[in-house]
């Protein structure tokens, strides 16, 4: 995988669980960013209401390969 990559942080959410929050974040990012290659979970948290988990939240870093001729500050889309 030689090349240049860019990292961004995004937060996925789900009422079902952390895995589903990760899947939601990756699926959304894949619709707007080309060349996604990997992710890293940075933070996990959630919302509690009336003693029950209301929402799972996960902050992830995603890495995508920059295309030839794209500046390092490009968004990849």
Q: Decide if 30 is inside a domain.
A: yes
Domain that holds residue 60: 5-65
CB proximity list for 8: less than 8 A, separation 6 or greater: 33, 61, 62, 64
Per-residue confidence (pLDDT) for residue 2, from 0 to 100: 79
For residues 9-24, average pLDDT: 97
For residues 18-46, average pLDDT: 96
- Does 7 score more than 60 pLDDT? yes
- pLDDT above 70 as % of the chain: 87
pTM above 0.85, yes or no: no
How many domains does the chain contain in total?
Answer: 1
Question: Using alpha carbons only, how large is the chain's radius of gyration in Å?
Answer: 15
Q: Decide if 70 is inside a domain.
A: no
Spatial contact of 31 and 22, defined as CB atoms under 8 Å apart: no
Q: Decide if 61 is inside a domain.
A: yes
> Which CATH number goes with the domain that contains 60?
3.30.1660.10
Cα 64 from Cα 35, distance rounded (Å): 5
Q: Decide if 15 is inside a domain.
A: yes
């Amino acid at each position: 995988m030689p090349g240049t990559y860019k990292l961004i942080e995004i937060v996925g959410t789900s009422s079902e669980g952390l895995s589903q929050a990760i899947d939601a974040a990756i699926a959304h990012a894949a619709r707007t960013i080309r060349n996604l290659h990997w992710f890293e979970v940075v933070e996990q948290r959630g919302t509690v209401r009336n003693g029950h988990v209301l929402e799972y939240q996960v902050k992830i870093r995603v890495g995508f390969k920059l295309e030839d001729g794209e500046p390092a500050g490009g968004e990849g889309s």
